[in-house]
Amino acid sequence: MTVDWDEREKEREAEERLATTHARPVYRTSQPMGFALQKALRPILKEAGPAPETLKSRWPEIVGLKLAQITEPVRVSRTKGGNVLHLRAPSAAAPIIQHSKDHILERVNLASGSKITSLKIIQTAPPKQLNLIIPRPLTPQQREALVKAVAPVSTPGLRSALVSLGEAILTGVRKG
């Protein structure tokens, strides 16, 4: 049996180095799965664009109150040319939105950190205008004249219905 003295010398030197060096063991703690998943999905989600719910909740602060009143973000879709933001708006407002398209895209990209390249307007019917008639109360003279006018009617139910109708016409209040 032959002994390799050079090997033994190297082992002895290594043992001396280990005896003088106090290394700290490295413990790797595992992170929750959510961190790894978020790290893996971040580039994909950034390309996909912002969620519509996020845009809807922050829409007035992104585009301003005037545009937020007439528009609503519907969705963000991916195309070959980039992401497309779909907006719902009345057809009469489409030229205004088309004119401010660059401003809207700039603000949305700034707020969401995504790359939306174009805008598609989904035109809807204009909202119904509410008839804002301010009711004015009847004066005592008008009420007395109305009651006198329907006094010849003999049926009490018909008389009260006619008084209600006359009152509604004179005050401008529409019932039903």
Contact predicate 147/127, CB 8 Å: no
Residue 62 lies in a domain: yes
Q: What is the crossing angle of helices 101-112 and 52-63, to 10°?
A: 120
* H/E run at residue 52: helix 52-63
User: Does residue 110 sit in the same domain as residue 87?
Assistant: yes
What integer pLDDT is reported at residue 52 of this predicted model? 76
What integer pLDDT is reported at residue 114 of this predicted model? 78
**Domain assignment of residue 53, given as a range:** 37-124
Burial of 107 (0-12, 13-18, 19+ CB in 10 A): middle
DSSP string, 65-85: HHHHHH-EEEEEEEETTEEEE
* pLDDT per residue as tens, the chain (176 positions): 577 888 889 998 988 888 787 767 677 777 778 788 888 877 776 666 677 788 888 889 988 888 888 899 998 888 887 888 999 999 888 998 999 999 999 998 888 877 888 999 999 887 666 666 667 788 889 889 999 999 999 899 999 999 989 888 888 766 55
Helix intervals (H) in 113-155: 140-150
User: Does residue 118 sit in the same domain as residue 150?
Assistant: no
User: Measured between alpha carbons, how far is 166 from 153 in angstroms, rounded to an integer?
Assistant: 14
Residue 59 lies in a domain: yes
Q: Cα-flanking dihedrals φ and ψ of residue 78, to 5°?
A: -100, 135
User: Does residue 113 sit in the same domain as residue 54?
Assistant: yes
Overall number of domains in the chain: 2
User: Does residue 82 sit in the same domain as residue 67?
Assistant: yes
* H/E run at residue 34: helix 33-48
User: Measured between alpha carbons, how far is 45 from 49 in angstroms, rounded to an integer?
Assistant: 6
SS3 call for 147: helix
User: Does residue 103 sit in the same domain as residue 144?
Assistant: no
Helices (H) and strands (E) in the chain, counts: 8, 3
**Eight-state DSSP code of residue 93:** G
Rounded to two decimals, what is the model's pTM?
A: 0.50
Q: Cα-flanking dihedrals φ and ψ of residue 77, to 5°?
A: -120, 155
